[in-house]
Structure 1
Amino acid sequence: MIGGVRDRLSQGVGSLLVVEGDSGFGKSTLMRRFAATESGGTCRIVLSRCMPTIGTGSRYAPVWDALTQLSKSPVEPPRRSRLARMLREGTAAAAPELLSVAVPGLGAAFTATRAAAAATVATGSIPGDSLLHADGLATRQLVDVVVQQARDGKPLLLMIDDIQLSDHGTLELLHLLLPRLRDEPLALVLGLGSYGRSASGGQAVHELLAEWERDYGTDSVLRHQVPALPAWAVRQLVTERLRGKAVPERFPDHVFDATAGHPVFVDQVLNLWHPGYGADVPLPEKLPAAIEDRFGRLDPHDRELLVVGATMGEFFCSHTVAEVTGMPQLQVQDRLHAIQRDHGLVTERRRSELPRWTRNLHIDWYDFEHRLLQRTIRRVQQREGARLLRHAGIADALGRLPRAAGSELPRELRVLIADQLRQAGPARAAECAVAHLDLARTAAVEELAFLQAEQHCRTAIDAVRLLPEGTEDHDRRLVEAVELLLSLTEVRWQGGHTDHARPEIDTLAAEAEQAARRLGDRLLIARTTLLRGKTLLAVDGLAPSLAKLEEAVQRARECGDEGITALYVAMVEYGRQLPKRDLKAGLAVLVDAERLYGSAPQLSETGNPVLQHARNLNEMQIGVNLFDAGRFDEARVRLERCVARLDGETPQVELPIALNYLAQLHVAMGAEDKAREALSRALQFEESRGGASGWHAYNSALLALITSRDRTRAREAVALAEEAWQETTCTWLVNLVPIVRNLYVEVLLETGHDPDLAARLARDSLVETERTGMDRSRIAAYCLRSRLRSHAGDIDDAAADARMALSVLEERGDMPALRTEEVLHDAARALHAAGAPHEAQTLWDRARTEIHRKADSMAAPDDRARFLNGVPLNRTLLTHDVPPGHGGAGTVPGQRESRPRA
């Protein structure tokens, strides 16, 4: 099978082969032998392997290993030669640093994102969507580096074993690399252990494989299950292994019957057999028994060495074993060499074969023959209490490994130590939490590996839960881990809950808030109160969130000068959410926050990512709320200034939001060409970063609505709106879900497409906004359903929905992005059709007054004329006493809530 992939690659056809097999079935041996014997032909063959513990924490580890092997080429472009030199020399650089060397222009982006990541680690005040774009950027650039390596010589066959142990970055890279195989001189062979579903990333790998098969077909994505050995192969193996010995004739058949052809089982049985046993030798019925029998032949001191080694993992070093057992290291090495010579079981790896992160470590390296051997020794040969003690001893010993003077512990070794502390149980839980928190910070700031940082945070939280509640270790570590975890994951928060369980995000935020109160740390109390306010918005809706956010502002004020930054961030977040309930009050809070920013010396640090992020959000929020209040000129000045400043900043994470707000203003002013231009720019910006985004979905939906006004592009508009809704369901940001859903409904209305779907979506918005308190989207949904029912001839129900929309509007007043004149116009139409012409006329008069009020906010005559005559609804209302037909451009085309994160 592997040879077939190579042959097709030689003919210019790239493909993917997944070789699956149980541990010991020979999958890894097969790949290793193929790479060793077939290199140098028509293709270059490179084999790397994901490693347990390290493989799941080291970003792109098998890819960097493959590039290290390829870096030995003497002919490289200047930048690539620098990368090759760093890889050959084993430079302990993070992925962004290496990529900055390989790819021009990346350095500035990574530097800015690292600063933002450092701020998140320090304050918890920057959300994950300010960071995750760098995650995708690094992956896409590394894909390009791999492809370029494939182009630079003979076709490249890249083989990666034990992919179930891979880090998330490598899986994402493979996902992006796969569609390029058809056009590039590159093919992939991945080794997958059949036990992979139980590995940390195993389930993700199986789900990804299913997606690949579905998207690319079984011609491009091949899977091969390594089978058990047939009877003839077992007979041949017995003959070769026991050549020259008196082997009874029936013995090979007995071996096959006992082992069912399992390669490792056959190997263990043949290791047990010696002359004189005969054909009736008692064979263990299970593989672990065979391993135990073989292990039992060792000297007790040798068994202890291997138990310690197996407790450490699939590989170990003599220094660590010596430290834990108390034996001199030379004696340990001698015994290990004798074990390898006389019994097998372990193999010492040559120094030249050690991974590059060991470059500054003065160690040797021993591998067990296979994973089942190591696992059986670890599980069977010690009691739980002894295992916990050994894990603790190994963690301490790893920290004392001899290394080059002045060198720090490599991150991979820190991962191993942290994992040993985790497995040491409650006695080392505090140190485990600290170790994994440090790794989370390193992963986020140095590697920009935010999903790995998230995993370390979760492990730290699990460790903290083993500590007594109320202790300093428990409470402070819990706050640190939760604050970082929720900041990193905020872009993926999911709201809603059942009576049985609250979502994890709010449970964690509540625990952190209580822990901060027990610590009595006023600044931590302010920050965790703000965090809780944000999780409540996602989980329970607007009302409880606003109460908690207002409390966060007060808590930050109580901190005095040391809490100025926390106060500013809290005011911005509170001011962005309050307009959903009270537009005027929310705008006042935002203006107060702006005054604080301009007057407090503590906020003058222009390079501070926390302040930069909050300032950008505050300014664009003021701009869009001025638009909501009908102050168009002031809004345009604010938003255009914000966009211009973002153009000169890095990494510009807020740009798609500012462009969205500016596009809504352009639509309201009748400048749809400018709106389309702003939205297209926002979409292009996010598509260059990759990945699903709630704001990309929102901008797509708004562009779909504008497109739907052109009857010749109705099909295009519906398709774009449908894609936007699908992207929204993937990201599910609580504020944006009803907005995009309502825009989808309006596109369906404008184009006359699938009214039943439109009715279901409008109903879903009403149900959801009843729970979340997003009244602006609730009003819009009532208006949309009223129009749907009018089209269907259901006049009375349409009028009822119109009255519900008016009722909420009268209670709340002007709402964000809800054009009051449009709600009044839609309600008037429904009530006029239902036999209430006088009430309808009153609503139309109010709508005209609203239009003139907004026109008065524009100083330029051209702007006023375009607003009054170029916006279809305005033109209709101002030229007819009773608007005939539909009379306008739809219900609330600029639907929007404030941005859901700070």
Structure 2
Amino acid sequence: MPAELFVGREDEQSAVRALVDRACDGHGGFLIVEGPAGIGKSALLRHIQEAGTPADFLSVGCHVQVGQLEAYGPLIDLAWLIDRNRPKRRRLLRRSGEAVKQRWPELLTLVPGVGSTLKMVAETLSGPVPGAPLVENRTAARAMADALLHLIKERFPVVISIDDFHRIDESSCSALSYLARAAEDQRVLFVLAGRDDELVANQAARLLVDDLVVTGLAQRIRLRGLPMSAIAEYAERMSAADVAPVELARRTGGHPLLLRYFLSNRRELALPPTPEHLPSDLVAPHPEGIQLAEQVRLVVAARLSRLSDDDRRLLAVGAVEGREFHSSILARVLDMRHDGVADRLHRLTRDTGLLHLLPPNTWDDRLEADRYAFEHDLVQEALYRDQSEWQRRDRHRRIGRILHEYSEDHRDLTQDLALELVRHHRLGRDWPAAGRVAHFVACRLSQTGASAPEVVKIAEQGLECVRRAPEDEESCRLRAQLVELLLTASELSWRTRPEPDGTVRLEALSTEAMRAAEGSGDANLRTRSQYLHGKVLLYTRGVPAALPLLREAWHEALKNGDAVSILLAGCEYGRQLPKTDVEGGLAVLARAEAAASEDNSVRQSEDPVVQRARHMVALQIGVNLYDAGRLGEALARLRATVPQVRQRPNLGLLPIGLNYLAQIEAGIGDYTEAERCLVEAVGCRDDEEPDGWHAVNLAYLGARRVQDRRDALGLRQLRDAQVEAAVTWQANLAPLVANLYAASLLSMVDADPAYDELAGNVLRNCLDETQRTGMRRSEIVTLSLLGQWHLSRGDSQQALQFSERATEHLREAGWRLAAVVAEEILYRHAAVQRALGHDGEANESLHLARALVLKKAATLDGRLRDRFLRDVPINRSILEEAH
């Protein structure tokens, strides 16, 4: 017997085909297909698709269980579906479906031309980017509609069906309202298919339907029972020609699902009584006093009622697990022998048709279970609803615990499984357990190569759960840990701009972690949350606000003697201290690295925050050695560490490590290798959510192309980097991008004089920001470049004022500061001094620059030393002019 038999519906087919043809001709629109469950809404569209049409067909659903709504759910799935069906070389996201499907904001922001506005959609929901400001819902819905239409265009002509529309979320309805008006002259037909009897309970969906129909933006088709001729054809094709069509109409109302049930089980299945009378037309009526949708539910209930109490209880537990369920989990929840449960499920599959066996996967093997699916959503829904609230909650908790137990040693933890673990604990309203599980699966996903947004998504769900738990030491500890993981995983994409009231949401999260750590009674956790808050303040307010807190956390960690705390606090303090004291930063990092290497708990830790810190310390020591002028050690350290980072996931460390290595490769004159590192670093990002380090890497790459090859593409990359840095605006990174952009513009003024004024604007804005945030390293570079800019315009006195301020700041730092090439600052200063006729002072500056170059050269051996002195233009110029 075919699983689904399609007969009749000629008028409806003609109406739908006409709309599809119109859409193919560029007159798109919306079609609303309504009817009770199982009436054949999806089958109608499949039949038209199979009959052949120029249009492509895409189908998504509103998959909501027990009232859980996810904003933009079906539209997110649609974007994911389009991307999944692209050729691999054109895919926006090069990860598995399980990974991509949960990362809709990053996927949508890839759309050319609208990516910069689509981020607002994520921000409206607080997205996977902590610190993202909230935006007005209508603006986000409009952005979603625009971006989705942009995505859809590559599949024109296309028919997009959204099944179970009665379950759709309010945000999707807002976006669809915009799409309905934009689709009128596009080659797309949207089909919204849903249960009309349940639509009344979804106000947003009902209002959208009414608006589209009244304004003429949508046509409406209501599917009812099949006419007599179709009922007769159905019976004949089911080899049941001996059953009178009139009797079938009386029994089923012409409902396809009821027809199949009745004809497949006519000896055993007793349908609820229906009236004798049929109208003069051929369409079977709703049974008198009972809506057809309710008739279907009664039939499902009748079929289930024929089960024994034990079988019904068995399937009820399966319904709690979901539309798919596992035999071994049922056995454990019910405290039964697994082989007995497996036998009963096999018999139920054979005798009732209520469920069917699915092909096994690796998770099924892990569970040592058969996996089943219910015959129809209605079966699962009926079984789920026919339980008390307490029963459902208790069974969700049991299933969640069992899944967690099996997953602890399951290395192939997928995003879908991770979400299932959290879902069962949430529905069981076991908030502390849900928080624990979320932290567990987020940590596990980070170890198995999941992207940072995936990890953040789970951590956010866990944080939401633990906020609802009673406040005690355990919930406080979980809360602090989840915030720490959330902020660590999302660091590259932090948003730091203050809200209109002056608050910064990013700071609110780190403050929450500090309060939670205080309530945990864990001194080491207090230290961790303190360094985390200091790290956030560095990004949001700059060095003066951050360093005291980081220093305090560092000394507290040393006092407590916990190796993990020493590593974490030392990693961040050692990263930021070189902005004022390079040697001091190196000493802190060395001590943190030693503490980590001497402690087994650190070496064996699977905490992704700890793992990331270990590699970050190694990378930071490498770049700080470079800043200290110890080029040979720096190169050896980073060439050894970057491949280790590349081999394992570390929550966004690779683009940072590649940037550090590129700086050193360029610093010794290997520009080809530097550009290769930067190209890889820029490509590391597998989403398009703006992030500070992507902007920095893109700016370095653009600067290399401008300065090495005078390539106009480099300027475009620098402009893009400047825009991206402005979106995230991180106090320690945005000025780096601005200075690289300005320096490249100045080098290209002869190609376009307009670059001169643009460079001046960029530098003036950057100076204001660096003075506000105390980012001294970038302020020095900006002052030096402003000196060069004024000199090129013939204003030598102004040039001297800026250049002297730069060299004075650098002198105070002992001529060594992170991300500042002292000899380059001195060389520019000498040019200003010489322009004013201060030859003696210019020579002093050049000789000091020469001494710094030679001191660095002494840390290199043989060929590397020769290349450093010969192939680095600034070094060659300094040596020639000083001589």
Same fold by TM-score greater than 0.5: yes
Aligned position for 2:517: 516
Question: Structure 1 residue 578: deviation in Å?
Answer: 0.4
| Contact persistence 2:162–2:191 (CA under 8 A) | no
Structure-2 separation of matches of 1:173 and 1:691: 9
Aligned position for 2:530: 529
CA RMSD after TM alignment: 6.6
Residue 578 of structure 1 aligns with an amino acid whose one-letter code is L
Structure-1 separation of matches of 2:843 and 2:520: 59
Aligned position for 1:643: 639
SS in 2 for 1:350: strand
Aligned position for 1:680: 676
Q: How does 1:388-403 map to 2 (within 5 A)?
A: 389=390, 391-396=392-397, 398=399
Residue 683 of structure 2 aligns with an amino acid whose one-letter code is E
SS in 1 for 2:785: helix
Aligned position for 2:742: 745
Q: How does 1:486-565 map to 2 (within 5 A)?
A: 486-498=487-499, 500=501, 502-560=503-561, 563-565=562-564
Do the aligned partners of residues 432 and 594 (structure 1) sit closer, same or farther apart at CA in structure 2, a change above 3 Å counting? closer
SS in 1 for 2:498: coil
Verify: 1:225 aligned to 2:224, yes or no. no
Question: Structure 1 residue 311: deviation in Å?
Answer: 10
Question: Structure 1 residue 317: deviation in Å?
Answer: 8.1
Q: How does 1:265-414 map to 2 (within 5 A)?
A: 274=275, 315=323, 348-352=354-358, 365-366=373-374, 389=390, 391-396=392-397, 398=399
Do the aligned partners of residues 28 and 390 (structure 1) sit closer, same or farther apart at CA in structure 2, a change above 3 Å counting? farther
SS in 1 for 2:94: helix
Aligned position for 1:419: 423
Aligned position for 2:200: none
Question: Structure 1 residue 550: deviation in Å?
Answer: 1.4
Deviation larger for 573-582 or 165-174: 165-174
Verify: 1:628 aligned to 2:599, yes or no. no
CA deviation vs aligned residue, 1:823-878 (integer Å, no higher than 9, x gap): 34545655776xxx47x556524422321321441347988887677655566666
Q: Which has the higher contact order (CA 8 A, sep 6+)?
A: 1
Residue 751 of structure 1 aligns with an amino acid whose one-letter code is M
Do the aligned partners of residues 362 and 805 (structure 1) sit closer, same or farther apart at CA in structure 2, a change above 3 Å counting? same
Between the aligned residues of both structures, percent identity stands at 24
Do the aligned partners of residues 240 and 491 (structure 1) sit closer, same or farther apart at CA in structure 2, a change above 3 Å counting? farther
Aligned position for 1:454: 456
Structure-2 separation of matches of 1:602 and 1:408: 19
Structure-1 separation of matches of 2:812 and 2:458: 47
Aligned position for 2:719: 722
Aligned position for 2:466: 464
SS in 1 for 2:820: coil
Structure-1 separation of matches of 2:626 and 2:406: 62
CA deviation vs aligned residue, 1:84-128 (integer Å, no higher than 9, x gap): xxxxxxxxxxxxxxxxxxx9xxxxxxxxxxxxxxxxxxxxxxxxx
CA deviation vs aligned residue, 1:679-698 (integer Å, no higher than 9, x gap): 32442465377556755543
Structure-1 separation of matches of 2:854 and 2:456: 51
| Contact persistence 2:476–2:520 (CA under 8 A) | yes
Aligned position for 1:429: 431
Aligned position for 1:816: 818
Structure-1 separation of matches of 2:436 and 2:186: 46
Do the aligned partners of residues 592 and 369 (structure 1) sit closer, same or farther apart at CA in structure 2, a change above 3 Å counting? closer
| Contact persistence 1:701–1:724 (CA under 8 A) | yes
Residue 583 of structure 1 aligns with an amino acid whose one-letter code is V
| Contact persistence 1:432–1:463 (CA under 8 A) | yes
Residue 742 of structure 2 aligns with an amino acid whose one-letter code is V
TM-score, normalising length: structure 2: 0.61
CA deviation vs aligned residue, 1:476-526 (integer Å, no higher than 9, x gap): 221232222222222222223235364443322222222222222122222
Aligned position for 1:168: 103
Do the aligned partners of residues 453 and 200 (structure 1) sit closer, same or farther apart at CA in structure 2, a change above 3 Å counting? farther
Q: How does 1:136-155 map to 2 (within 5 A)?
A: 140=94
Aligned position for 1:848: 846
Do the aligned partners of residues 272 and 540 (structure 1) sit closer, same or farther apart at CA in structure 2, a change above 3 Å counting? farther
Question: Structure 1 residue 362: deviation in Å?
Answer: 6.7
Structure-2 separation of matches of 1:802 and 1:812: 16
Q: May I ask how many residue pairs the two structures share in their alignment?
A: 702
| Contact persistence 1:139–1:169 (CA under 8 A) | no
Do the aligned partners of residues 812 and 781 (structure 1) sit closer, same or farther apart at CA in structure 2, a change above 3 Å counting? same
Do the aligned partners of residues 30 and 449 (structure 1) sit closer, same or farther apart at CA in structure 2, a change above 3 Å counting? farther
Structure-1 separation of matches of 2:108 and 2:500: 40
Structure-2 separation of matches of 1:743 and 1:404: 51
Structure-2 separation of matches of 1:513 and 1:559: 17
Q: How does 1:718-797 map to 2 (within 5 A)?
A: 718-726=715-723, 728=725, 734-752=731-749, 753=752, 754-755=754-755, 756-792=757-793
Question: Structure 1 residue 658: deviation in Å?
Answer: 5.2
CA deviation vs aligned residue, 1:321-342 (integer Å, no higher than 9, x gap): 99999xxx99xx99xx9xx99x
| Contact persistence 1:624–1:661 (CA under 8 A) | yes
Do the aligned partners of residues 869 and 445 (structure 1) sit closer, same or farther apart at CA in structure 2, a change above 3 Å counting? closer
CA deviation vs aligned residue, 1:194-247 (integer Å, no higher than 9, x gap): 96996599699999x99xx9xxx978xx55435999799869956668886699
Structure-2 separation of matches of 1:452 and 1:200: 24
| Contact persistence 1:619–1:638 (CA under 8 A) | no
SS in 1 for 2:819: coil
Structure-1 separation of matches of 2:462 and 2:545: 29
Aligned position for 2:239: none
Question: Structure 1 residue 576: deviation in Å?
Answer: 1.7
| Contact persistence 1:164–1:199 (CA under 8 A) | no
Verify: 1:29 aligned to 2:27, yes or no. no
Do the aligned partners of residues 536 and 237 (structure 1) sit closer, same or farther apart at CA in structure 2, a change above 3 Å counting? same
Deviation larger for 604-613 or 400-409: 400-409
| Contact persistence 2:679–2:701 (CA under 8 A) | no
Question: Structure 1 residue 751: deviation in Å?
Answer: 0.5
Structure-2 separation of matches of 1:405 and 1:433: 18
| Contact persistence 1:668–1:867 (CA under 8 A) | yes
| Contact persistence 2:685–2:694 (CA under 8 A) | no
SS in 2 for 1:419: helix
Aligned position for 1:585: 584
CA deviation vs aligned residue, 1:182-203 (integer Å, no higher than 9, x gap): 9x99x99864459699659969
Aligned position for 2:263: none
Do the aligned partners of residues 450 and 800 (structure 1) sit closer, same or farther apart at CA in structure 2, a change above 3 Å counting? closer
Structure-2 separation of matches of 1:464 and 1:405: 23
Do the aligned partners of residues 140 and 323 (structure 1) sit closer, same or farther apart at CA in structure 2, a change above 3 Å counting? closer
Do the aligned partners of residues 438 and 450 (structure 1) sit closer, same or farther apart at CA in structure 2, a change above 3 Å counting? same
| Contact persistence 2:29–2:189 (CA under 8 A) | yes
Structure-1 separation of matches of 2:576 and 2:376: 58
| Contact persistence 2:326–2:370 (CA under 8 A) | no
Do the aligned partners of residues 578 and 721 (structure 1) sit closer, same or farther apart at CA in structure 2, a change above 3 Å counting? same
Structure-1 separation of matches of 2:404 and 2:713: 63
Structure-1 separation of matches of 2:572 and 2:707: 35
CA deviation vs aligned residue, 1:267-319 (integer Å, no higher than 9, x gap): xxxx99955597999x99xxx998679879989x98x9999999959848899
Aligned position for 1:84: none
SS in 1 for 2:490: helix
Question: Structure 1 residue 790: deviation in Å?
Answer: 4.4
CA deviation vs aligned residue, 1:328-372 (integer Å, no higher than 9, x gap): x99xx99xx9xx99xxxxx9343358999678557865466679x
| Contact persistence 2:642–2:654 (CA under 8 A) | yes
| Contact persistence 1:668–1:871 (CA under 8 A) | yes
Question: Structure 1 residue 391: deviation in Å?
Answer: 4.5
Do the aligned partners of residues 606 and 855 (structure 1) sit closer, same or farther apart at CA in structure 2, a change above 3 Å counting? farther
| Contact persistence 2:355–2:372 (CA under 8 A) | yes
| Contact persistence 1:24–1:370 (CA under 8 A) | no
Residue 639 of structure 1 aligns with an amino acid whose one-letter code is L
